[in-house]
Amino acid sequence: MDVRTPIPTNGGDWLPKFLDSWKAQVAQLKQKFGDSIEKTCLPPEYPTDVPIVYVSKAAVIDVLRFMKNEAGFEYDFLADFTATDESIEPRFELVYNLFSTTKKCRFRLKIRVYEGEDVPTAIGVWQGADWAEREIWDMYGVKFTGHPDLRRILMDERYQGHPLRKDFPLRGYQVVTEPELAQPKLLDYDPNDLSAAPQGADPDDLWAGARTIVNIGPNHPAMHGSFRLVAKLNGETIEKSYSEFGYTHRAKEKLGEYKTYHQYIVYTDRMNYVSALANNFTYAMAVEKLMGIQVTDRTTWIRMIACEISRIIDHLVCIGINAVDLGAFTYFLYGYHQREEAYTLIEKLCGARLTTSYCRIGGLSGDAPEGFEKELKAWVKKTREVVNEMDKLLTGNQIWHKRTRGVSVFNREQCLQYSFTGPSARAAGLDIDLRRDQPSMFYKDVQFDVPVAREGDIFARYIVRLEEVRQSLNILAQCADRLKPGPIWVEDKRVRIPEKDQVHNTMEGLIYHFKFFMTGFDVPEGEAYSQMETPNGELGFYIVSKGGPKAHRMRVRAPSFWHFQGLSPMIQGEKIADMVGALGSINIIAGELDR
Amino acid sequence: MHKDGSASFLTTRLDALVNWGRKNALWPIPFATSCCGIEMMSTLASDYDLSRFGGEVVRFSPRQADLIIVAGIVNLKMAPVLRTIYEQVSDPKWVISMGSCASSGNGLFNVYSNTQGVDTIIPVDVYVPGCPPTPEALIHAVMRLQEKIQKGETYSQLKAKGLLKGPSAPELKV
């Protein structure tokens, strides 16, 4: 492709599908809210993937509520809530990325905020906005009025400054020497005050009003990674709890503004490190969407294969560890062995086991080796047997049933409130699977079912994951059949990394190689939210580009962040021992949670 | 000792005997924070099976362990926690720093939230390079540590003999 050919819009195939309804919605919003709608930007005139509507700060909650409930809009799902720093006043833009679970359509609301201004909280509309707002306060210093618990979330409570502001240095270290302690006050509990009247007639109640505070984590075997849960117990029942994280925070969003698009690939591996490949490709797709690149068929099929392998790995690890936590150790070894076999396949693709960095913008780091399809099919066959064996081993087990059925229920309404996605949401009957609903790659062309359960308990999450492994195996078998030889690189001068023999033997190749890796390639101005159904749920990259080789804002919408927020309401009223099962079943990955 | 096992004494130094016992009964406490933790789990699981080298009794209480495997990033919020856990482990104790993040802060993550290596917080005996290291690399590190323990060259042993001077652990700095 010639660099001078006009760049396609980054709306992709959404444009023809949704453009009319977007136009109607924007017109209706203007009519209803009048002057509160400050500006509207519609694709394809404006370089964005979905319409952006700037709303005045005072009216934003009304607009959100209207868009959530009004027929014809039905944006009932807060996909993401974040901010950007524009450096000039009005300094901050707060971005609500909305999704409609009925129409499978997306929309973006923005408000402009001056430095020092407060914003009304959206907790009344979505409970899940709670932590997102805390993160914006932590990272940008924007306060929310009406927020019940506006504390720092990723950084230590004693930290000074707001790291994602543009004027904050990348290396602004601040050392604390004492660990942060659990705060019983956050649980409405004063350890010295034992005069409180007894609540309820729990037989475990030892002493009227006496409660135990249990601190679990940050380094605890039940916590998969490093985060903390502090629970107020009445006997063994959890009355109230709060969770804390940020112990693995590595500033990946800040780094996105300092690294070129090519350099950032390695950081995506280290988000959800159990399924790094899926993260790689979601990121690559986001940048490709901004640049209007369509990758080749072979690349797409290989990417799909890699995504499905990583989905299987992720699910096997999740259900395996979940079973270990509840006492079924052998079960975990079955899955783990098959996972090692999968890593052998991945090593054949890219040479690495865990942190793969397999994607390149517009291609792959290397082609699949000869005979890969055959090995893949053999692995699929073996894994199918293993999964059936695992199924027999645990699914009918009485102890497993007793520990998981009806425990830690999170229903459909709560899933919508807390923006749950992926298997955890499908286990509660929230039927979204972006592979089917907003298909990217070639998911349209393969046959698979989306397992949905109704109960929303640990068992439902387990069974949905187990079934998804089987469906992924089906997809893999179809992909292996359809993988045909062909080029893996898109012939686009902007992103094509020169071949090694050109680099070594021609002057132009060497210069081009040097320029590519030292300065990176330019991405046109615009913004896009690119999402994919990763094993854990909806992973989204919201990239704002102002031109140039580095992003203006690199936002990662990590599913674990929203799932972990749901843990406290999920375990309220449960026994403390069931917390372990609940946490394992929603599969929190610390690298993705903290970014 | 005779081949039939009848006569039965060996001559050795007490030190060597004690160190032999120590090196073959490592009780690790995993301090797994991120990606390296997954590879550490692989090492402990059946395919790589660390128990072949005498180090599989994973204890999650610092009081019951003598080897800390720091697997993954330790950021500034986590640093005091690691220091506390190190101090809770009873002597003699050993530390393996697994992966680039724990060993040096990883060139990738030189940012506001991170320590640049756990040796700024606690003394480290064996470093494992890699991002993340393969399970083989971790097993190699455990074997290197066993050699060091046998020779009495670890930080903890040297300190007990008075061959080290200074505070029990480095001050927290960046």
CA-based nearest residue in chain A for residue B70: A219
Task: Report CB contact under 8 Å: B78, A247.
Answer: yes
Cβ-nearest to A251 among B41, B42, B111 = B111
Distance CA A438, CA A295 (A): 18
Nearest residue to A404 via CA among A468, A336, A333, A453: A453
CA-based nearest residue in chain B for residue A276: B35
From the CB of residue A302, how many other CB atoms can be counted at a distance below 10 Å? 25
pLDDT at B101: 87
Confidence of residue A468 (pLDDT cuts 50, 70, 90): very high
From residue B112, alpha-carbon distances to A171, A369, B31 in Å are: 4, 41, 22
Q: Which residues of A touch B78 (CB under 8 A)?
A: 218, 226, 247-248
Task: Report CB contact under 8 Å: A270, B34.
Answer: yes
- How many Å lie between the alpha carbon of B113 and the closest alpha carbon of chain A? 6
Answer whether residue B9 shows pLDDT above 80: no
Answer whether residue B166 shows pLDDT above 80: no
Task: Report CB contact under 8 Å: B111, A178.
Answer: no
Asked if residues B155 and B128 have their Cβ atoms less than 8 Å apart, the reply is no
Asked if residues A311 and A281 have their Cβ atoms less than 8 Å apart, the reply is no
CA angle A39, A42, A45 (to 5 degrees): 110
From residue B3, alpha-carbon distances to A51, A281, B6, B7, B8 in Å are: 86, 63, 8, 9, 10
For residues A89-114, give the mean pLDDT: 89
Distance CA A273, CA A266 (A): 11
CA-based nearest residue in chain A for residue B39: A354
Q: Which residues of A touch B56 (CB under 8 A)?
A: none
Average pLDDT, chain A: 85
Task: Report CB contact under 8 Å: B38, A250.
Answer: no
Q: Which residues of B touch A353 (CB under 8 A)?
A: 39, 134
Distance CA A440, CA A49 (A): 14
Q: Which domains, ranges and CATH numbers included, belong to chain A? A: 14-145 (3.30.460.80), 252-594 (1.10.645.10)
Taking any CB pair shorter than 8 Å as contact, residues of chain B touching chain A are: 31-35, 37-39, 41-42, 45-47, 60, 72-73, 75-85, 108-114, 131-132, 134, 172-174
Answer whether residue B169 shows pLDDT above 70: no
Written as one letter, the residue type at A147 is H
CA-based nearest residue in chain A for residue B130: A355
Q: Which domains, ranges and CATH numbers included, belong to chain B? A: 26-157 (3.40.50.12280)
Answer whether residue A170 shows pLDDT above 50: yes
Tens of pLDDT, residue by residue over B37-95, are 888 888 888 888 888 887 767 888 888 888 999 988 888 888 888 888 888 898 888 99
pLDDT at B5: 65
Alpha helices in B24-90 (DSSP H): 35-44, 79-88
Q: Residue A108 forms beta bridges with which residues?
A: A52, A97
Distance CA A456, CA A462 (A): 10
Query: Chain B interface, mutation test: which of A273, A275, A322, most B Cβ atoms within 10 Å?
Result: A273
- How many Å lie between the alpha carbon of B10 and the closest alpha carbon of chain A? 41
pLDDT at A1: 39
- How many Å lie between the alpha carbon of B169 and the closest alpha carbon of chain A? 13
Nearest residue to A397 via CA among A343, A473, A450, A323: A323
Task: Report CB contact under 8 Å: A251, B114.
Answer: yes
Beta strands in A512-569 (DSSP E): 526-534, 537-545, 553-557
Tens of pLDDT, residue by residue over A370-409, are 888 899 999 999 999 999 998 888 888 898 988 888 888 8
From residue B141, alpha-carbon distances to A355, B53, B66, B135 in Å are: 20, 11, 15, 10
- How many Å lie between the alpha carbon of B75 and the closest alpha carbon of chain A? 6
Give every CB contact of residue A178 below 8 A, 6+ residues apart in sequence: B80
pLDDT at A5: 41
For residues B141-168, give the mean pLDDT: 80
Nearest residue to A277 via CA among A288, A268, A289: A268
Distance CA A363, CA A344 (A): 22
Answer whether residue B173 shows pLDDT above 70: no
Distance CA A478, CA A482 (A): 6
Cβ-nearest to B47 among A221, A254, A340 = A340
For residues A20-37, give the mean pLDDT: 85
pLDDT at A8: 46
Nearest residue to A527 via CA among A55, A16, A110, A77: A110
Burial of A82 (0-12, 13-18, 19+ CB in 10 A): buried
Q: Is the pTM of this model over 0.90?
A: no
Task: Report CB contact under 8 Å: A250, B113.
Answer: yes
- How many Å lie between the alpha carbon of B27 and the closest alpha carbon of chain A? 15
Cβ-nearest to A179 among B37, B42, B84 = B84
Task: Report CB contact under 8 Å: B77, A337.
Answer: no
Asked if residues A300 and A441 have their Cβ atoms less than 8 Å apart, the reply is yes
Contacts 24+ apart (CB under 8 A), A379-383: A379/A341, A379/A342, A379/A345, A380/A473, A380/A476, A380/A477, A380/A480, A382/A338, A382/A341, A383/A312, A383/A338, A383/A341, A383/A342, A383/A469, A383/A473
ipTM comes to: 0.83
CA–centroid distance for A350 within its chain: 24
Cβ-nearest to B108 among A171, A266, A340 = A266
- How many Å lie between the alpha carbon of A216 and the closest alpha carbon of chain B? 12
- How many Å lie between the alpha carbon of B24 and the closest alpha carbon of chain A? 24
Cβ-nearest to B109 among A173, A179, A250 = A250
Cis peptide before A90 (omega within 30 of 0): yes
- DSSP-derived letter for residue A34 is G
Confidence of residue A325 (pLDDT cuts 50, 70, 90): confident
Note the residue count of chain B.
174
End-to-end CA distance of chain A: 36
CB pairs under 8 A between A and B: 125
Answer whether residue A209 shows pLDDT above 70: no
Answer whether residue A207 shows pLDDT above 60: no
Written as one letter, the residue type at A104 is K
